[in-house]
């Protein structure tokens, strides 16, 4: 991926990893367009980064996605990079029937699929097109307390592999960013300062370094996520899964 000179759309760009990526790419000399539901966060991010642009997008609404995509193509005719970052993560108690799956499936899975469908034919006509999905280390070792979230991220990993295969032979580069547990407010304010999570600035810095120094990488894995990403290949998956979930459940109970 070219590090500068792109026009980049980042969904979920008003906070967390999305904002971190937006600011990093903006600082490298790219035209960055952030999109999300919360206009106040988009406005705050743009105000702090002169030259950055923003557009409100309800990623759960299929009609809105089509309208958004058409306007985006007109407003930013040089758009060549899309980063599908918007996401929702909520705990679910399956024993109690406390399941909140619809919004997570729609935002985390259907949203990127629908937006991709609306933009991909346009992107393929651009120079140096890049489609980056954002999955999670939890796509490879699920966190049992967030089953639907993990399932959507596993599906995004699978979808990305199929997209990469279908686009083989085109000029498009298909990347998958696989974050570890990062200090954001994805599951509330406490997560943003959890010492067990990777500091956001460190995650963004390492991610940008990989993109710049390993241009042929298809999966962007910081060191901290590799135990999750390669747990199956280690031959110790069952033990890793149990230890990981026992540890996370204990940490959650402590709070």
Residues marked active site are found at 149
In this structure, what are the phi and psi dihedrals at residue 90, rounded to the nearest 5 degrees?
-135, 145
* Residue among 224, 162, 237 at smallest CA distance from 196: 224
Report CA torsion sign: 196, 200, 203, 205.
Answer: negative
CA–CA separation, 61 vs 71, rounded Å?
Answer: 15
Pairing, β 31-36 against β 53-56: parallel
CA–CA separation, 163 vs 217, rounded Å?
Answer: 16
Helix axes 16-27, 200-213, angle to 10 degrees: 50
Radius of gyration of the chain (CA): 18
Task: Take residue 40 and report the two structure tokens written for it.
Answer: 């106040």
């Amino acid at each position: 991926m070219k590090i500068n000179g792109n026009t980049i759309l980042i969904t979920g760009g008003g906070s967390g990893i999305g904002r971190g990526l937006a600011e990093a790419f903006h600082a490298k000399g790219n035209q960055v367009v952030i999109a999300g539901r919360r206009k106040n966060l988009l406005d705050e991010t743009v105000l702090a980064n002169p030259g950055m642009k923003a557009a409100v997008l309800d990623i759960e609404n299929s009609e809105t996605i089509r309208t958004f995509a058409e306007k985006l193509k007109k407003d930013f005719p040089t758009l060549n990079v899309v980063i599908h970052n918007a996401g929702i993560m909520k705990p679910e108690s399956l024993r109690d029937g406390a399941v909140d799956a619809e919004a997570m499936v729609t935002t985390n899975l259907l949203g990127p699929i629908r937006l991709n469908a609306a933009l991909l034919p346009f992107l393929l006509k651009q120079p140096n097109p890049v489609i980056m999905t954002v999955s999670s280390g939890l796509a490879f070792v699920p966190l049992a307390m967030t089953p639907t979230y993990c399932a959507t991220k596993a599906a995004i990993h699978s979808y990305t592999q199929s997209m990469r295969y279908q686009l083989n032979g085109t000029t498009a580069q298909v990347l998958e960013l696989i974050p570890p547990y990062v200090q954001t407010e994805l599951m509330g304010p406490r997560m943003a300062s959890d010492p067990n999570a990777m500091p956001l600035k460190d995650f963004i810095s390492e991610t940008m370094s990989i993109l710049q120094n390993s241009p042929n990488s298809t999966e962007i894995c910081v060191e901290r996520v590799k135990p999750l990403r390669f747990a199956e290949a280690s031959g110790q998956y069952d033990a890793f899964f149990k230890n990981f979930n026992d540890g996370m459940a204990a940490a959650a109970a402590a709070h």
